[in-house]
Amino acid sequence: MAEATDCTMALDPGVRDAARQRLASVRGHVEGIVRMLERDDVYCVDVLRQLKAVSGALDKVGDAVLRSHLHHHVTNAQARGDADVIVDELMDILKYR
């Protein structure tokens, strides 16, 4: 697959900061889950709830990055001449969502 000609991360500063903060929170949640798994007195459903919370937080970060990508790269791909590359790239990414 060819690469897009404008391959830089174009996140607005507010989006970048919010994503960084959310990921820092996710890091804390994951560390908490690891601690839960090291104990014998933790209920499985409680672990599952925490895993779901982490998954939701990661989805929100992914949504924000995808939205930014759509605004900054996809909307003007035709004018840049790399629309086919961008479409292929998105199809590859979306199969994991």
Q: Does residue 8 form part of some domain? A: no
pLDDT at site 3: 54
Q: What's the number of domains the chain is made of? A: 1
68 is a domain residue: yes
Note down the domain range covering 84: 13-94
Q: Is the dihedral of CA 10, 13, 15, 17 positive or negative?
A: positive
Question: Tens digit of pLDDT for each residue in 72-97?
Answer: 877 777 788 888 888 888 888 888 76
Residue 7 lies in a domain: no
Which CATH number characterizes residue 72's domain? 1.20.58.1000
Residue 5 included in any domain: no
Is 83 a domain residue? Answer: yes
> Which regions of the chain are under pLDDT 50?
1
Does residue 2 lie within any of the structural domains? no
